[in-house]
Amino acid sequence: MLTLTGASHAALLGIGTYRASLVVPNDELVQAIDSSDEWIQQRSGIKERRWATPEETIQLMSVEASRQALDNAGIDPRQIDCVIVATISHLLQTPAIATAVAHELGTDKAAAFDISAACAGFCHAVALGSDMVRAGTAGHVLVIGVERLSDITDIKDRGTAFIFSDGAGAVVIGPSETEGIGPVVWGSDGEQFDLIRQKEDWRDVLVAETPEMPNLVMQGAAVFRWASYEMAKIAHQALDKAGVTVDDLDVFVPHQANMRIIDAMARTMKMPAHVRVARDIAQQGNSSAASIPLALHRMILDGDAKSGDTALLIAFGAGLAYAAQVVTVP
Ligand code: UT7
Protein backbone atom coordinates (compact mmCIF):
# COMPACT_ATOMS: atom_id res chain seq x y z
CA MET A 1 0.00 0.00 0.00
CA LEU A 2 1.30 3.49 -0.85
CA THR A 3 1.83 5.90 2.01
CA LEU A 4 0.62 9.48 1.80
CA THR A 5 3.24 12.20 2.03
CA GLY A 6 2.02 15.40 3.56
CA ALA A 7 3.62 18.80 3.99
CA SER A 8 6.09 19.27 6.84
CA HIS A 9 4.21 22.34 7.98
CA ALA A 10 0.81 23.95 7.45
CA ALA A 11 -0.23 27.59 7.65
CA LEU A 12 -3.10 29.99 7.09
CA LEU A 13 -2.38 31.31 3.60
CA GLY A 14 -5.21 33.81 3.28
CA ILE A 15 -8.30 35.15 5.02
CA GLY A 16 -11.59 36.66 3.86
CA THR A 17 -14.84 37.70 5.51
CA TYR A 18 -18.40 38.75 4.82
CA ARG A 19 -20.29 40.87 7.32
CA ALA A 20 -24.08 40.67 7.09
CA SER A 21 -25.32 44.06 5.91
CA LEU A 22 -28.05 45.07 8.39
CA VAL A 23 -26.57 47.15 11.22
CA VAL A 24 -28.88 46.73 14.22
CA PRO A 25 -28.14 49.07 17.15
CA ASN A 26 -29.20 48.13 20.70
CA ASP A 27 -31.97 50.72 20.66
CA GLU A 28 -33.81 48.75 18.00
CA LEU A 29 -34.02 45.66 20.27
CA VAL A 30 -34.52 46.92 23.78
CA GLN A 31 -38.28 47.43 23.77
CA ALA A 32 -39.11 43.79 23.03
CA ILE A 33 -36.89 42.58 25.91
CA ASP A 34 -37.46 45.36 28.46
CA SER A 35 -33.77 46.29 28.40
CA SER A 36 -31.64 49.32 27.63
CA ASP A 37 -28.67 50.26 25.49
CA GLU A 38 -26.75 50.97 28.70
CA TRP A 39 -27.48 47.52 30.22
CA ILE A 40 -26.49 45.67 27.04
CA GLN A 41 -23.27 47.64 26.67
CA GLN A 42 -22.33 47.21 30.34
CA ARG A 43 -23.08 43.49 30.49
CA SER A 44 -21.86 42.39 27.06
CA GLY A 45 -19.93 45.22 25.39
CA ILE A 46 -22.22 45.02 22.36
CA LYS A 47 -23.20 48.35 20.76
CA GLU A 48 -24.68 47.00 17.55
CA ARG A 49 -24.78 43.70 15.68
CA ARG A 50 -25.01 42.56 12.07
CA TRP A 51 -28.04 40.66 10.80
CA ALA A 52 -28.43 39.20 7.34
CA THR A 53 -31.06 40.19 4.78
CA PRO A 54 -33.07 37.33 3.23
CA GLU A 55 -30.65 37.38 0.25
CA GLU A 56 -27.60 36.98 2.47
CA THR A 57 -27.82 33.24 2.78
CA ILE A 58 -25.31 30.93 4.43
CA GLN A 59 -24.14 29.97 0.94
CA LEU A 60 -23.80 33.56 -0.32
CA MET A 61 -21.86 34.73 2.74
CA SER A 62 -19.62 31.64 2.61
CA VAL A 63 -18.83 32.09 -1.08
CA GLU A 64 -18.07 35.81 -0.72
CA ALA A 65 -15.76 35.27 2.26
CA SER A 66 -14.06 32.34 0.50
CA ARG A 67 -13.42 34.27 -2.74
CA GLN A 68 -11.64 36.93 -0.69
CA ALA A 69 -9.62 34.31 1.20
CA LEU A 70 -8.61 32.53 -2.02
CA ASP A 71 -7.65 35.85 -3.61
CA ASN A 72 -5.70 36.82 -0.53
CA ALA A 73 -3.88 33.47 -0.56
CA GLY A 74 -3.26 33.55 -4.32
CA ILE A 75 -4.85 30.11 -4.63
CA ASP A 76 -7.11 28.98 -7.47
CA PRO A 77 -10.36 27.22 -6.38
CA ARG A 78 -9.21 24.14 -8.32
CA GLN A 79 -6.29 23.80 -5.90
CA ILE A 80 -8.71 23.27 -3.01
CA ASP A 81 -9.07 19.57 -2.17
CA CYS A 82 -11.44 19.95 0.74
CA VAL A 83 -14.00 22.49 1.95
CA ILE A 84 -15.03 22.41 5.61
CA VAL A 85 -17.92 24.58 6.76
CA ALA A 86 -18.41 25.11 10.49
CA THR A 87 -21.95 26.22 11.23
CA ILE A 88 -24.98 25.56 13.43
CA SER A 89 -27.44 27.67 11.46
CA HIS A 90 -27.62 25.98 8.05
CA LEU A 91 -31.21 24.92 8.55
CA LEU A 92 -31.35 22.34 5.77
CA GLN A 93 -29.82 19.45 7.62
CA THR A 94 -28.67 17.61 4.52
CA PRO A 95 -26.85 17.88 2.16
CA ALA A 96 -23.91 19.73 3.68
CA ILE A 97 -23.80 23.38 2.53
CA ALA A 98 -20.06 22.86 1.98
CA THR A 99 -20.87 20.86 -1.17
CA ALA A 100 -22.82 23.77 -2.70
CA VAL A 101 -20.09 26.23 -1.68
CA ALA A 102 -17.36 24.03 -3.20
CA HIS A 103 -19.34 23.83 -6.45
CA GLU A 104 -20.15 27.56 -6.66
CA LEU A 105 -16.51 28.46 -6.03
CA GLY A 106 -15.43 26.26 -8.93
CA THR A 107 -13.38 23.68 -7.07
CA ASP A 108 -12.64 20.48 -8.93
CA LYS A 109 -15.22 18.40 -7.05
CA ALA A 110 -13.43 19.01 -3.75
CA ALA A 111 -14.38 16.90 -0.74
CA ALA A 112 -16.84 18.96 1.25
CA PHE A 113 -18.57 18.57 4.59
CA ASP A 114 -20.04 20.57 7.47
CA ILE A 115 -19.09 20.32 11.11
CA SER A 116 -21.10 21.27 14.19
CA ALA A 117 -19.06 22.53 17.12
CA ALA A 118 -21.00 25.78 17.62
CA CYS A 119 -18.84 28.78 18.57
CA ALA A 120 -15.76 26.55 18.66
CA GLY A 121 -16.43 25.29 15.10
CA PHE A 122 -13.89 27.48 13.31
CA CYS A 123 -10.98 26.44 15.56
CA HIS A 124 -12.04 22.78 15.22
CA ALA A 125 -12.06 23.11 11.42
CA VAL A 126 -8.65 24.82 11.39
CA ALA A 127 -7.28 21.88 13.40
CA LEU A 128 -8.76 19.39 10.92
CA GLY A 129 -7.49 21.37 7.92
CA SER A 130 -3.94 21.68 9.19
CA ASP A 131 -3.81 17.97 10.08
CA MET A 132 -5.06 17.06 6.59
CA VAL A 133 -2.38 19.17 4.91
CA ARG A 134 0.30 17.61 7.11
CA ALA A 135 -1.04 14.10 6.57
CA GLY A 136 -1.24 14.54 2.81
CA THR A 137 -4.98 13.89 2.56
CA ALA A 138 -5.41 17.37 1.06
CA GLY A 139 -3.07 19.85 -0.59
CA HIS A 140 -5.14 22.91 0.33
CA VAL A 141 -8.17 23.11 2.59
CA LEU A 142 -10.74 25.90 2.65
CA VAL A 143 -12.18 26.45 6.14
CA ILE A 144 -15.32 28.55 6.57
CA GLY A 145 -17.08 29.65 9.76
CA VAL A 146 -20.53 30.98 8.91
CA GLU A 147 -23.77 31.73 10.74
CA ARG A 148 -27.22 33.24 10.29
CA LEU A 149 -28.07 33.09 13.98
CA SER A 150 -30.81 35.68 13.51
CA ASP A 151 -32.86 32.82 12.00
CA ILE A 152 -32.78 30.91 15.29
CA THR A 153 -32.86 33.79 17.76
CA ASP A 154 -36.04 34.77 19.57
CA ILE A 155 -36.07 38.58 19.54
CA LYS A 156 -38.30 38.48 22.62
CA ASP A 157 -35.85 36.40 24.70
CA ARG A 158 -34.00 38.67 27.15
CA GLY A 159 -31.10 36.25 27.48
CA THR A 160 -30.17 35.94 23.80
CA ALA A 161 -31.94 38.53 21.60
CA PHE A 162 -29.15 41.11 21.87
CA ILE A 163 -26.23 38.69 21.53
CA PHE A 164 -26.31 36.69 18.33
CA SER A 165 -25.44 37.83 14.82
CA ASP A 166 -24.69 36.83 11.23
CA GLY A 167 -21.62 36.68 9.00
CA ALA A 168 -18.88 34.51 7.54
CA GLY A 169 -15.12 34.15 7.69
CA ALA A 170 -12.87 31.90 5.64
CA VAL A 171 -9.23 30.85 5.58
CA VAL A 172 -7.16 28.85 3.12
CA ILE A 173 -4.86 26.32 4.77
CA GLY A 174 -1.92 24.96 2.82
CA PRO A 175 1.70 23.82 2.99
CA SER A 176 4.30 26.15 4.43
CA GLU A 177 8.05 26.25 4.99
CA THR A 178 7.59 27.14 8.64
CA GLU A 179 4.94 26.09 11.13
CA GLY A 180 1.95 28.43 10.94
CA ILE A 181 -0.65 26.47 12.91
CA GLY A 182 0.21 25.18 16.36
CA PRO A 183 -1.18 22.03 17.98
CA VAL A 184 -4.83 22.30 18.94
CA VAL A 185 -6.03 21.97 22.52
CA TRP A 186 -9.66 20.94 22.36
CA GLY A 187 -12.33 19.20 24.33
CA SER A 188 -15.92 19.20 25.48
CA ASP A 189 -17.91 19.12 28.70
CA GLY A 190 -21.12 17.33 27.80
CA GLU A 191 -22.26 17.42 31.40
CA GLN A 192 -23.17 21.02 30.57
CA PHE A 193 -24.92 20.05 27.31
CA ASP A 194 -28.06 21.99 28.23
CA LEU A 195 -26.46 25.39 28.93
CA ILE A 196 -26.69 26.57 25.30
CA ARG A 197 -28.94 24.66 22.95
CA GLN A 198 -31.81 24.78 20.53
CA LYS A 199 -34.98 24.74 22.61
CA GLU A 200 -36.27 21.56 20.98
CA ASP A 201 -35.81 19.39 17.91
CA TRP A 202 -37.92 19.49 14.75
CA ARG A 203 -40.13 16.57 15.81
CA ASP A 204 -41.17 18.47 18.93
CA VAL A 205 -41.83 21.53 16.79
CA LEU A 206 -44.12 19.58 14.47
CA VAL A 207 -46.33 18.22 17.24
CA ALA A 208 -46.64 21.56 19.05
CA GLU A 209 -50.04 23.27 19.02
CA THR A 210 -48.41 26.49 17.76
CA PRO A 211 -45.23 25.45 15.94
CA GLU A 212 -42.36 27.86 16.51
CA MET A 213 -38.77 28.00 15.33
CA PRO A 214 -36.56 25.91 17.67
CA ASN A 215 -34.58 28.99 18.74
CA LEU A 216 -31.40 29.09 20.80
CA VAL A 217 -31.74 29.26 24.57
CA MET A 218 -28.85 29.94 26.93
CA GLN A 219 -28.18 29.89 30.67
CA GLY A 220 -25.96 32.91 30.22
CA ALA A 221 -24.63 33.38 33.75
CA ALA A 222 -23.48 29.73 34.02
CA VAL A 223 -21.76 29.87 30.61
CA PHE A 224 -20.19 33.17 31.61
CA ARG A 225 -18.69 31.68 34.81
CA TRP A 226 -17.41 28.60 32.99
CA ALA A 227 -15.84 30.59 30.15
CA SER A 228 -14.26 33.21 32.42
CA TYR A 229 -12.56 30.62 34.69
CA GLU A 230 -11.91 27.57 32.54
CA MET A 231 -10.93 29.01 29.17
CA ALA A 232 -7.80 30.84 30.34
CA LYS A 233 -6.39 27.42 31.38
CA ILE A 234 -7.08 26.00 27.91
CA ALA A 235 -5.48 29.06 26.31
CA HIS A 236 -2.35 28.53 28.43
CA GLN A 237 -2.19 24.88 27.34
CA ALA A 238 -2.34 25.97 23.67
CA LEU A 239 0.58 28.34 24.29
CA ASP A 240 2.56 25.59 26.03
CA LYS A 241 1.93 23.10 23.21
CA ALA A 242 3.08 25.67 20.66
CA GLY A 243 6.19 26.38 22.74
CA VAL A 244 5.45 30.08 23.25
CA THR A 245 4.43 32.34 26.14
CA VAL A 246 2.14 35.35 26.32
CA ASP A 247 5.23 37.53 25.81
CA ASP A 248 5.70 36.01 22.34
CA LEU A 249 2.17 36.90 21.26
CA ASP A 250 1.30 39.88 19.09
CA VAL A 251 -2.42 39.27 18.89
CA PHE A 252 -5.09 37.61 21.06
CA VAL A 253 -8.31 36.61 19.31
CA PRO A 254 -10.76 35.03 21.74
CA HIS A 255 -14.27 34.07 20.67
CA GLN A 256 -16.38 37.22 20.67
CA ALA A 257 -19.00 36.11 23.21
CA ASN A 258 -18.90 38.92 25.75
CA MET A 259 -16.48 41.83 26.25
CA ARG A 260 -16.32 41.02 29.98
CA ILE A 261 -15.19 37.45 29.23
CA ILE A 262 -12.56 38.82 26.81
CA ASP A 263 -11.30 41.22 29.50
CA ALA A 264 -11.39 38.54 32.23
CA MET A 265 -9.34 36.14 30.10
CA ALA A 266 -6.77 38.79 29.19
CA ARG A 267 -6.48 39.71 32.88
CA THR A 268 -6.21 36.11 34.15
CA MET A 269 -3.60 35.32 31.50
CA LYS A 270 -1.64 38.46 32.38
CA MET A 271 -1.62 39.47 28.75
CA PRO A 272 1.24 41.97 28.26
CA ALA A 273 0.31 45.49 27.13
CA HIS A 274 1.87 45.00 23.68
CA VAL A 275 -0.60 42.20 22.80
CA ARG A 276 -3.50 43.57 20.75
CA VAL A 277 -6.82 42.05 21.81
CA ALA A 278 -9.74 41.50 19.38
CA ARG A 279 -12.85 43.45 20.37
CA ASP A 280 -15.00 42.97 17.29
CA ILE A 281 -18.01 42.09 19.45
CA ALA A 282 -18.86 45.77 20.00
CA GLN A 283 -19.88 46.17 16.34
CA GLN A 284 -20.61 42.58 15.30
CA GLY A 285 -22.21 40.82 18.28
CA ASN A 286 -21.61 37.10 18.72
CA SER A 287 -21.49 35.32 15.36
CA SER A 288 -20.54 31.90 16.77
CA ALA A 289 -18.44 29.98 14.20
CA ALA A 290 -17.76 33.19 12.23
CA SER A 291 -16.61 35.19 15.24
CA ILE A 292 -12.87 34.46 15.22
CA PRO A 293 -12.15 34.98 11.51
CA LEU A 294 -14.33 38.13 11.51
CA ALA A 295 -12.45 39.49 14.53
CA LEU A 296 -9.00 38.58 13.17
CA HIS A 297 -9.75 40.06 9.75
CA ARG A 298 -10.97 43.32 11.28
CA MET A 299 -7.65 43.57 13.18
CA ILE A 300 -5.71 43.03 9.94
CA LEU A 301 -7.80 45.63 8.09
CA ASP A 302 -7.43 48.13 10.97
CA GLY A 303 -3.65 47.60 11.15
CA ASP A 304 -3.82 45.94 14.60
CA ALA A 305 -2.47 42.66 13.19
CA LYS A 306 -0.10 42.08 10.32
CA SER A 307 1.10 39.13 8.28
CA GLY A 308 3.62 37.10 10.28
CA ASP A 309 2.26 38.09 13.69
CA THR A 310 1.76 35.36 16.28
CA ALA A 311 -1.87 35.05 17.35
CA LEU A 312 -3.63 32.98 19.98
CA LEU A 313 -7.12 31.82 18.98
CA ILE A 314 -9.56 30.35 21.48
CA ALA A 315 -13.21 29.52 20.97
CA PHE A 316 -15.91 28.03 23.21
CA GLY A 317 -19.64 27.54 23.25
CA ALA A 318 -22.54 25.09 23.07
CA GLY A 319 -21.67 21.56 24.03
CA LEU A 320 -19.79 22.86 25.90
CA ALA A 321 -17.13 22.52 23.21
CA TYR A 322 -13.85 24.43 23.06
CA ALA A 323 -10.67 24.62 20.96
CA ALA A 324 -7.56 26.79 20.95
CA GLN A 325 -4.40 27.08 18.88
CA VAL A 326 -1.56 29.49 18.16
CA VAL A 327 -1.37 30.59 14.52
CA THR A 328 0.69 32.88 12.35
CA VAL A 329 -1.44 35.71 10.91
CA PRO A 330 -1.72 35.26 7.10
O1 UT7 B 1 -21.06 32.11 22.33
C2 UT7 B 1 -21.31 31.08 23.20
C3 UT7 B 1 -20.82 31.37 24.55
N4 UT7 B 1 -21.70 32.35 25.16
C5 UT7 B 1 -21.27 33.06 26.15
O6 UT7 B 1 -20.14 32.97 26.54
C7 UT7 B 1 -22.28 33.97 26.83
C8 UT7 B 1 -21.97 34.08 28.29
N9 UT7 B 1 -22.94 34.88 29.06
C10 UT7 B 1 -23.09 36.20 28.93
O11 UT7 B 1 -22.54 36.82 28.06
C12 UT7 B 1 -23.91 36.90 29.99
O13 UT7 B 1 -24.37 35.95 30.91
C14 UT7 B 1 -25.13 37.69 29.45
C15 UT7 B 1 -24.65 38.93 28.70
C16 UT7 B 1 -25.97 36.82 28.56
C17 UT7 B 1 -26.00 38.18 30.62
O18 UT7 B 1 -25.22 38.93 31.52
P19 UT7 B 1 -25.19 38.59 33.08
O20 UT7 B 1 -24.35 39.62 33.72
O21 UT7 B 1 -24.77 37.16 33.24
O22 UT7 B 1 -26.69 38.78 33.51
P23 UT7 B 1 -27.64 37.80 34.32
O24 UT7 B 1 -28.27 36.82 33.41
O25 UT7 B 1 -26.93 37.30 35.55
O26 UT7 B 1 -28.76 38.80 34.82
C27 UT7 B 1 -28.45 39.89 35.72
C28 UT7 B 1 -29.68 40.74 35.92
C29 UT7 B 1 -30.92 39.96 36.34
O30 UT7 B 1 -31.67 40.79 37.20
P31 UT7 B 1 -31.59 40.62 38.79
O32 UT7 B 1 -32.01 39.20 39.06
O33 UT7 B 1 -30.14 40.89 39.15
O34 UT7 B 1 -32.52 41.65 39.30
C35 UT7 B 1 -31.68 39.76 35.04
O36 UT7 B 1 -33.07 39.64 35.25
O37 UT7 B 1 -30.03 41.39 34.69
C38 UT7 B 1 -31.38 41.05 34.32
N39 UT7 B 1 -31.41 40.87 32.87
C40 UT7 B 1 -31.59 41.88 32.01
N41 UT7 B 1 -31.80 43.20 32.21
C42 UT7 B 1 -31.91 43.97 31.12
C43 UT7 B 1 -31.22 39.73 32.17
N44 UT7 B 1 -31.26 39.98 30.85
C45 UT7 B 1 -31.50 41.32 30.72
C46 UT7 B 1 -31.63 42.18 29.63
N47 UT7 B 1 -31.83 43.50 29.87
N48 UT7 B 1 -31.54 41.72 28.36
In tens digits, the chain (330 residues) has pLDDT values of 777 789 999 999 999 999 999 999 999 999 999 999 999 999 999 999 999 999 999 999 999 999 999 999 999 999 999 999 999 999 999 999 999 999 999 999 999 999 999 999 999 999 999 999 999 999 999 999 999 999 999 999 999 999 999 999 999 999 999 999 999 999 999 999 999 999 999 999 999 999 999 999 999 999 999 999 999 999 999 999 999 999 999 999 999 999 999 999 999 999 999 999 999 999 999 999 999 999 999 999 999 999 999 999 999 999 999 999 999 999
Specify the residue with its C-alpha closest to ligand 1, atom 19: 221
At residue 95, the pLDDT reads 98
What is the C-alpha to C-alpha distance for residues 266 and 289, in angstroms, rounded to an integer? Answer: 21
Specify the residue with its C-alpha closest to ligand 1, atom 17: 220
Q: How far is the CA of 191 from the centre of ligand 1 (A)?
A: 22
Domain of residue 296, residue span: 185-328
Q: How far apart are the first and last CA of the chain?
A: 36
At residue 14, the pLDDT reads 98
What is the C-alpha to C-alpha distance for residues 43 and 125, in angstroms, rounded to an integer? Answer: 30
Residues with CB under 6 A from ligand 1: 33, 35, 39, 43-44, 119, 158-159, 162, 196, 220-221, 223-224, 227, 257-258, 261, 286, 317
Specify the residue with its C-alpha closest to ligand 1, atom 11: 258
What CATH number is attached to the domain comprising 129?
A: 3.40.47.10
Last residue of a domain, one of 176, 210, 229: 176
Q: Do residues 154 and 241 share a domain?
A: no
How many structural domains comprise the chain? 2
At residue 164, the pLDDT reads 98
Residue 182 contacts residue 236 (beta carbons within 8 Å): no
Q: How far is the CA of 31 from the centre of ligand 1 (A)?
A: 16
At residue 77, the pLDDT reads 98
Q: Do residues 192 and 165 share a domain?
A: no
pTM reported for the whole predicted model: 0.97
Last residue of a domain, one of 156, 176, 196: 176
What is the C-alpha to C-alpha distance for residues 316 and 186, in angstroms, rounded to an integer? Answer: 9
DSSP code of residue 184: P
Q: Do residues 36 and 95 share a domain?
A: yes
At residue 150, the pLDDT reads 98
Closest atom of ligand 1 to CA, residue 160: 16
Specify the residue with its C-alpha closest to ligand 1, atom 18: 43
Residue 285 lies in a domain: yes
Give catalytic residues, as residue numbers. Answer: 119, 255, 286
Q: What torsion, rounded to 10 degrees, do the Cα atoms 230, 234, 239, 242 define?
A: 180
* Beta bridge partner(s), residue 143: 84, 171
